Amino acid sequence: MNSLESSSESQPQSLREWLLSEAPTSRRQARMGSFYQGWLALKSNNLTMIGLGILLFLLFVALFAPVLAPADPFAQNLSNRLQPPGSEGHLLGTDSLGRDILSRLIYGSRITLYIVTLVALIAPVLGLFVGTVAGYLGGWVDSILMRITDIFLAFPRLVLALAFVAALGAGIENAVIAISLTAWPPYARIARAETLTIRRADYISAVQLQGAGPLRIISKHIWPLCISSLIVRVALDMAGIILAAAGLGFLGLGAQPPSPEWGAMISEGRKFLLDFWWVATIPGLAIFMVSLGFNLLGDGLRDVLDPKDSGDA
């Protein structure tokens, strides 16, 4: 890194100094510097770090599931069914078919992560695109796009999922698509509202005066400013997304048996809730923890990405 020699001191700068430098000497340094400062702000909030920790743990578990799981999540053992937590060989007990709950939980984390990632990639991106184009161009483009948004907003999630299942068959992918199709409209509205405000700013006028066209303005000037609020909203929505997937799984519309999806596990354990509480409760706790993690992270992200730094004196 040539910037290590750029300082006038004889000793090279530490990485931290380089990142916090008041006079960055390259684009990369400036960009990494602002990421680092954001990270420092995030780190200072303990609750946010707890949330981040939970999610990193989820990621870790999902990645190393085959190594971490003590047993095969699909292996049935009918003579060992409904064993309580703490039984030999089954830390969290077994379910109604004798399968190890802990292993199913671990493998189920992969499905949860899969759902979360897919929805996070589809819904906000689609919403950002629709919202910013509608907000910037205005006129009939705006009207048409917003009416399309309204139509999708009007769909109840479960009804749409049912329709998909009827048309395409049940399965986790279809559940994800159904959720994404009902999740994108709020992002479009947020993005549009932000765009309407940003559009009037002097810095947009200034770049128009340089001859920039709508494509450049939307993608390079408006999107960077909308992304913060979208990220925050996505993080906070994740809890709801997971619950929606779990709800679909519960109804049998999402992951199909014997898939260890957490919502489906709750559904299977419902019959035994009173006598064998752990079958439904433990996956429920897992959902709770992950939702909590996303909420805490989302809150912290909002504090860091707060538009206070978007130009107010």
- Judged by CB under 8 A, the residue of 54, 116, 225, 301 near other proteins is 225
Mapping DSSP to helix (H, G, I), strand (E, B) and coil, where does residue 87 land?
strand
Among the residue ranges 52-60, 94-102, 220-228, 242-250, the one whose residues contact other proteins (CB under 8 A): 220-228
The residue among 99 and 221 lying less far from other proteins, judged by its C-beta, is 221
Examine residue 30 and tell whether it contacts other proteins (CB under 8 A).
yes
Residue linked to tokens 């992918």:
173
Examine residue 201 and tell whether it contacts other proteins (CB under 8 A).
yes
Among the residue ranges 104-112, 122-130, 176-184, 303-311, the one whose residues contact other proteins (CB under 8 A): 303-311
Cα–Cα dist 36/15, whole Å: 11
- Judged by CB under 8 A, the residue of 9, 22, 88, 275 near other proteins is 22
- Give least dist CB 235 to other proteins, A: 20
The residue among 78 and 209 lying less far from other proteins, judged by its C-beta, is 209
Q: Which DSSP symbol is given to 254?
A: S
Mapping DSSP to helix (H, G, I), strand (E, B) and coil, where does residue 100 land?
strand
Examine residue 32 and tell whether it contacts other proteins (CB under 8 A).
no
CB 176 within 8 A of CB 120: no
Residue in 141, 136, 244 with CA at minimum distance from that of residue 183: 244
Site string for other proteins, 34-63 (x = CB under 8 A): x-----x---x-------------------
Cα–Cα dist 152/181, whole Å: 7
User: Distance of CA 61 to CAs 48, 141, 168, Å?
Assistant: 20, 45, 31
Neighbours of 36 (CB within 10 A): 15
- Judged by CB under 8 A, the residue of 67, 78, 154, 209 near other proteins is 209
The residue among 143 and 205 lying less far from other proteins, judged by its C-beta, is 205
Cα–Cα dist 184/230, whole Å: 11
The site that binds other proteins (CB under 8 A) totals a number of residues, namely: 32
Examine residue 311 and tell whether it contacts other proteins (CB under 8 A).
yes
Backbone angles phi, psi at 67, to 5 degrees: -80, -40
Site of interaction with other proteins (CB under 8 A): 22-27, 29-30, 34, 40, 44, 201-203, 205-212, 216, 220-221, 224-225, 309-313
